[in-house]
Amino acid sequence: MDIETLQRIITDNQQSEEAPLTKRDLVIEFIPNVAIGIVGTRRSGKTYRTLQAEYENSRKNVCRINFNDHRIINITSEKLSFIDDAYYGLYPEKRNKETILFIFDEIHRIKGWEDYILYLIESKKHRVLITGSTATLQRGEYSSALRGKFFPFEITPFSFREFLRHSNIKEDTVSSKGIGFLRRYFKIYTDQGGMPGLFNLSEKLHEDMLRSYWDTMILRDIAEAHNEDNINLTLLRAFADSLVSRTGCPMTVNKIAGNLKEAGYSFSNETLYKYLTYLSDAFMIYAIEIYSRSEKIRLRNYRKIYCADWALANAVCYGEGIDETRALENIIFLELHRRRAEVNYYRTKEGYEVDFVVSKAKKIQSLIQVCYNLNSEEVKKREFRALIKSADYLKVKNLTVVTFNDEGLEVIGGYKINIIPAWKWLLGQ
């Protein structure tokens, strides 16, 4: 490997045809003297988001290196400094004058790569964006390797807005025709999920591909990423499947452990707690706690589980899959997560439960209940009662019920409850 080879790689990338992209809404903010990473579940669009970052710059100001390139497959850490030498050999006038974006894909393959990144980010004219498989870019690992000089931005599967953009559907929330299209495409979105690259497949192939994704996540992002743990792959798969089968439902590790032991598995409960951490670190599942200022109450209550993609959960879980309300609840959770809200659930002393307590900067902003439809007085009574009781205890005025298509306003006991269709809520209306 020599400087001339690196220069060919750099210029080959700069001169390559721009790939057709669906613009992602994830905003990346570069921080002086800090490397940036894009993290998220496998197949959620991390590489395409780096291409978007590349195209947003003058391409001559981008030095992109893929360390899976056969031309540099044997590069060592001692020769990593050839990269910026090669770039500035092409553009000497840019050194210390213009901002240069370095994009490194799979740099973790090189033992001792961290020192080179730390060297690059010493310059205020350098921006460094690191990408890689989910297995290598898990929570905290790069930050530790780079001595805290690493900040990850998480990307999720397509939001509804991104799905509409990908489908070339205008966000017309005014005309009858526009609303009709939005309702139609929201139904497609709820059926197919948000995984890029899987739209418009046949139902059978779509489900098979999602199962293939899940198997790869378990094998590559958990078992291979933690091969020093000698993971029991059969137990891990059974535990992971049990978790996503509880999407939108209460979950305790001890309860799942009891079921698995009855099925003949032998293990310690501590093993399942470790597996839960691994699944969370790989962005496959999210576990939210009850809202309480008491750590003891948070720890002793069950957690609620949500999947990286509701269609993925539906394809993997047992039996008939997850029902419409649980899928809708997962969709709303992921959107709250994209909006960087702090999300909990709440359960009153009477046993009434609200799906989401939404906070920012530790201050409660709203309570959200998710219900597929309010087609009976009994359902309305159940959902509204939980909101009102929780609002009384938590002193919250902003109350919302998100449904598939119902819309309206209810006033109960001095509280206004906004009822809004999910497609409209997801678009921020």
pLDDT value for 109: 84
Mean per-residue pLDDT for 14-26? 94
Q: Say yes or no: 34 and 121 in one domain.
A: yes
pLDDT value for 141: 66
Q: Does residue 296 fall inside a structural domain?
A: no
Residue 138 in this model has a pLDDT that exceeds 70? no
Listed residues 132, 154, 176: the one ending a domain: 154
pLDDT value for 1: 66
State how many domains the chain has. Answer: 4
Q: How many CB atoms lie within 10 A of CB 188?
A: 13
Q: Which of 321, 336, 409 lies closest to 367 in space, CA to CA?
A: 336
Strand partners, 305: 247, 287
Specify the DSSP element, H or E, that contains 388. Answer: helix 377-394
Residue 143 — pLDDT band, cuts 50, 70, 90? low
Question: Considering the entire predicted model, what is its pTM?
Answer: 0.94
Q: Say yes or no: 126 and 193 in one domain.
A: no
Helix (H, G, I), strand (E, B) or coil at 368: strand
Q: Say yes or no: 245 and 366 in one domain.
A: no
DSSP codes, 247-297: BTSEE-HHHHHHHHHHTT----HHHHHHHHHHHHHTTSEEEEPBP-S-HHH
C-alpha distances out from residue 310 to 122, 378, 392, Å: 42, 27, 32
Mean per-residue pLDDT for 21-37? 95
Mind listing the pLDDT tens digit for each residue in 168-180?
999 999 999 999 9
Q: Which of 391, 327, 388 lies closest to 358 in space, CA to CA?
A: 391
Specify the DSSP element, H or E, that contains 417. Answer: strand 415-421
Residue 251 — pLDDT band, cuts 50, 70, 90? very high
pLDDT value for 159: 98
Q: Is 428 exposed, middle or buried (0-12, 13-18, 19+ CB in 10 A)?
A: exposed
pLDDT value for 318: 78
251-269 residues labelled b (16+ CB within 10 A) or e (exposed): bebeebbeebeeeebeeee
Q: Say yes or no: 21 and 149 in one domain.
A: yes
pLDDT value for 6: 96
Q: Does residue 345 fall inside a structural domain?
A: yes
Q: Does residue 298 fall inside a structural domain?
A: no
Mind listing the pLDDT tens digit for each residue in 181-219?
999 999 999 999 999 989 989 999 999 999 999 999 999
Residue 80 — pLDDT band, cuts 50, 70, 90? very high
Strand partners, 369: 401
Q: Say yes or no: 64 and 178 in one domain.
A: no
Q: Say yes or no: 367 and 273 in one domain.
A: no
Q: How many percent of the chain have pLDDT more than 90?
A: 88
Q: How many CB atoms lie within 10 A of CB 351?
A: 8
112-141 residues labelled b (16+ CB within 10 A) or e (exposed): ebbebbbebbebeebbbbbbbbbbbbbeeb
pLDDT value for 140: 62
Q: Does residue 291 fall inside a structural domain?
A: no
- What the block records as the tokens of 395 is 């002193």
Q: Is 371 exposed, middle or buried (0-12, 13-18, 19+ CB in 10 A)?
A: buried
Q: Name the amino acid, one letter, at 233.
A: L
Q: Say yes or no: 63 and 36 in one domain.
A: yes
Q: Say yes or no: 145 and 237 in one domain.
A: no
Residue 320 in this model has a pLDDT that exceeds 60? yes
Q: Say yes or no: 139 and 166 in one domain.
A: no
- What the block records as the tokens of 307 is 């999947």
Q: Say yes or no: 122 and 18 in one domain.
A: yes
Listed residues 143, 177, 200: the one ending a domain: 200
Residue 273 domain boundaries: 203-286+310-321
